[in-house]
Chains A and B, each alone.
Chain A
Amino acid sequence: MDQIISSYFNLSVLRQALPYLQNGLILTLWLSISIVPLAMIAGLVIAMLFDLRQKWLNALLVVYIDLFRAFPPLVLIIFIFFGLPFLGIRFSEFVSFVLAATLNGAAYFGEIFRAGIASIPRGQYEAAVASGLTPLQAMIHVVLPQAIRNVLAPLTGNIIELVKATSLASVVAMPELLRSARIAQGNTYNATPLIAAAVIYLILLWPAVRLASRLERRAIARR
């Protein structure tokens, strides 16, 4: 018991690790609030382009969605970090990571929004344009509000996954929460900082996880 406390819940180690954890958390949050909205907007654009029903465009979008869904995000990250520089393309670490995660997240969001829009009967759109709304207005005021409600469960799930995916930045040595915890662990020869990082993730995402399972249960019950 004592050993567990001194190796995992060591207060003096925690005190030492706190500055690292704090900086790490800040980077994690910055990454998250950059990636989630960007990927969401990109996904929404993909889904709306899909609704134009242009054969070739749709084929292209499906290829994009499926390729990036088949692609582990970490592979994409490594590719962008270590591959692109060979072509002389260099972004900052932050931008590289946001790019990789957005490309990945947009594919998922795109598929989610597409399914949501497809779940709305055509008559909704027709009623809206018949009353004089432009197709874009019909999409924004009539179709999307209903579509989003139908896909809240996967939407929440995907937001959680994207936030969790920021931990992959540690692999390319970006000092986000996990990486910072690992550094502190190395400095103190003690696993407490890692436990602390896990707890921080838990606190950060637990409400969203609860919400996601409530929504998912409702969505499955509706089938």
Chain B
Amino acid sequence: MSASATSLPGTAGETSGQPLLRIEDIRKSYGELEVLKGVSLTVAEHQVVAVIGPSGSGKSTMLRCINRLEEPNSGRIFLGRDEITARNARLNELRRNIGMVFQQFNLYPHLNARDNVALALRKVLRQSKATAYATAEKTLSRVGLAEKFTAFPAQLSGGQQQRVGIARALAMEPKVVLFDEPTSALDPELVSGVLAVIRDLKALGYTMVVVTHEMGFARDVADHVIFMDHGQIVEQGPPAQIFSAPKSERLRDFLSKGLGH
């Protein structure tokens, strides 16, 4: 895992790297309600993309379409050369290349931290128990939980739980990691610890898509910011442009309603 030279901070990150994740015109409706009205997006290797927008604008839905927790009604999604949305896609194999971190952590309460991380290693990658545990411990240490291997989720603070959630996603060595408001369920004093972990991951060259309400974080860490509203990408660009010189009325409106909610 080498810190990549291509993920230089600032606007340089904008265009660098091979396209890794490609979303082409996806649409999604729940009955009458059209939640995604044709969303297209390309994420380059080593790029960090922040997705912002008002509540109900379709951010989570877009993210969940990427690993097909939701089925888009139309449009195509590619990870490298593989089409995720293909009818015969080998979903389980594709999904292990896409890590996901949830707002509510979704840790398995009946398993301790190490087993939370090791489960997919053992069942999907068929690693031996010893190998899986070694990987799990290494990954947990990396997110600052070296002392908590055998703690159960209920014994951990929200911030620690979310770091286990991140370790669970990282352990599979995914090509891209999706974060759905990873800090929204946390007490304010625990937010910075989790954001620091994500910042470290960027330094290590991870490709990430982060839905967030933390505008300060988006501005500092993202290479590229997407503003969604009413199921569409209204505006996108480097953080400097999005936050300092918003073009659209809706984005200006959104930003003026208070940075960081």
Contact = CB atoms under 8 A, between A and B. Distances in A.
- A–B direct touch in complex (beta carbons closer than 8 A): yes
Interface of A: 121, 123-124, 126-134, 137, 141-142, 145-146, 149
Interface of B: 67, 69, 92-93, 95-96, 98-100, 102, 104, 106-110, 119-120, 123-124, 165, 168-169, 172
Contacts of B92: 129, 132-134
Contact of B119 (A121, A123, A131, A134): A131
A127 B109 CA distance: 12
Contacts, number: 63
Contacts of B120: 128, 131-133
A174 B168 CA distance: 56
Contacts of B93: 132
17 contacts: A121-B106, A123-B102, A123-B104, A127-B100, A127-B108, A128-B108, A128-B120, A130-B100, A131-B119, A131-B120, A131-B124, A132-B93, A132-B95, A137-B124, A142-B119, A146-B108, A146-B109
Q: A130, A137, A145 — which one has the most chain B CB atoms within 10 A of its CB?
A: A130
Most buried by A among B93, B104, B108: B108
Contacts of B110: 145-146, 149
Given A126-B102, A146-B108, 5 more contacts: A127-B165, A129-B95, A133-B123, A134-B92, A146-B109
A130 B119 contact: no
A137 B104 contact: no
A141 B116 CA distance: 11
A132 to B, nearest CB: 3
Given A137-B123, A146-B110, A131 B96 contact: yes
B171 to A, nearest CB: 9
Contacts of B100: 127, 130-131
A123 B108 CA distance: 10
9 smallest A-B Cβ distances: which pairs?
A132-B96, A127-B106, A131-B120, A123-B106, A132-B124, A130-B100, A132-B95, A145-B110, A132-B92
Given A123-B106, A146-B109, A146-B110, A130 B124 contact: no
Contact of B69 (A130, A134, A141): A130
B62 to A, nearest CB: 15
Given A126-B102, A127-B100, A132 B172 contact: yes
A43 B95 CA distance: 31
Contacts of A133: 92, 119-120, 123-124
Given A141-B119, A141-B123, A130 B108 contact: no
